[in-house]
Amino acid sequence: MSRFRFAPIAAALPATIPFTGPETLERRRGAPFLARLGANENGFGPSPLAVEAMARAASEIWKYGDPESHELRHALAAHHGVAPENIMLGEGIDALLGLLARLMIAPGEVVVTSAGAYPTFNYHVAGYGGTLRTVPYLDDAEDPDALLDATVETGARLTYLANPDNPMGSWHDGARIEAMVRALPETALLILDEAYAEFAPASAIPHIEAENPNVIRFRTFSKAYGMAGARVGYAIGPAELIAGFDRIRNHFGMNRAAQIGALAALADQNWLQEVVAQVAAARDRIGTIAAANGLRALPSATNFVAVDCGRDASYARALLDALEAQGIFLRMPGVAPMNRCIRISCGPATELDHLAEALPKALATLD
């Protein structure tokens, strides 16, 4: 029996970690990876202007970050054509999802998501005592109609949908998301996770007013802007809801250098477009590598590609293990039927070279 008495909700939860980091795996294997292609990081890196800005800020790291993130908040508002009151900064989307769960969920209240969707959201819901109701994916994509039906049936306060999707890379046309929003009950709030929006076709981005009371959108500097380690995410939503975060957030949680770097990255849209182009080329190459080995790459609007291994989850897991033994770090979806796939992040040519060399060898060990 533990010497410590945890609070009831925490005491009832398993001691789990949503993701095993590549650093942990490297320590286990006793060697670094040749190709780090499993965490959906942007291996093409951040804007050089962002790197320079953060380097200049290093000498003032003794200062706390601006608790209001004033400059970055106003710059993001201008970028998206909304008011600063519609923007909330946080330590990545993950932290903001946790704050939203804390703000909106009472113990026992129902939250709707898709079985196999981003697991960190589920982690936060469980941590605040919510009850998850899941619906299955449809054709390797989250199913807005099923999510809507479950929301209506359960009276859920929160419904989660990522567009484009992680872990499958699939996406819906923005008009379909808009239709879902119009059909939501008045009391429901759609959490629209748009972490990969910069990689998606313009038609995938819905037109939703920031003051729409049924939607809160999340964006990040971790993916297309290449700043995953800086932990800068933001929410776009109704001013009244956004103001609610001030009741519970860590007001000094934002890293000062990260705030400055994100501001510089946002200003360098030319670099962003270069990265988007490099990611598109990498997606094509991953598809070519997969096809050359008898595997099928699924269409993707993200900086990763889900590759169908054509068998079951055990086979996909064995392939991941065989690739890890050769120094290739990848991940896979955790729920059937998507777990027949492995997920490969778009990376620089040298890392994809390692993948191309390792994949046929790994497959050969499974025959």
Domains of the chain, first to last? 20-45+270-364 (3.90.1150.10), 48-267 (3.40.640.10)
Q: Which two tokens stand for residue 15?
A: 């001691």
Using one digit for the tens of pLDDT, what is the confidence trace for 218-267? 999 999 999 999 999 999 999 999 999 999 999 999 999 999 999 999 99
Beta strand 158-162 with 215-220 is: unpaired
Which burial class, exposed, middle or buried, applies to 222 when counting CB atoms under 10 A from its CB (0-12, 13-18, 19+)?
A: buried
Cβ atoms of residues 248 and 231 within 8 Å: no
Q: What pLDDT does residue 337 have?
A: 96
From CA 168, how far away is CA 300, in angstroms rounded? Answer: 7
Cα-atom radius of gyration of the chain, to the nearest Å? 21
Q: Which helix (H) or strand (E) holds 23?
A: helix 22-29
110: Cα within 13 Å, side-chain hemisphere: 14
Q: How much of the chain exceeds pLDDT 70, in percent?
A: 99
Q: What amino acid occupies position 153? A: E
**Residue that is written with structure tokens 């706390």 in the block:** 64
Q: What pLDDT does residue 215 have?
A: 98
Q: What pLDDT does residue 1 have?
A: 56
Q: How confident is the model at residue 19 (pLDDT cuts 50, 70, 90)?
A: confident
Percent helix / strand / coil, the chain, rounded to 5: 45, 15, 40
Q: For residue 99, what are the CA distances in angstroms to 6, 77, 102, 241?
A: 20, 21, 5, 12
Task: Determine the 3-state secondary structure of 159 from DSSP.
Answer: strand
Q: Model pTM? A: 0.96
Q: How confident is the model at residue 4 (pLDDT cuts 50, 70, 90)?
A: confident
Q: State mean pLDDT over 325-353.
A: 97
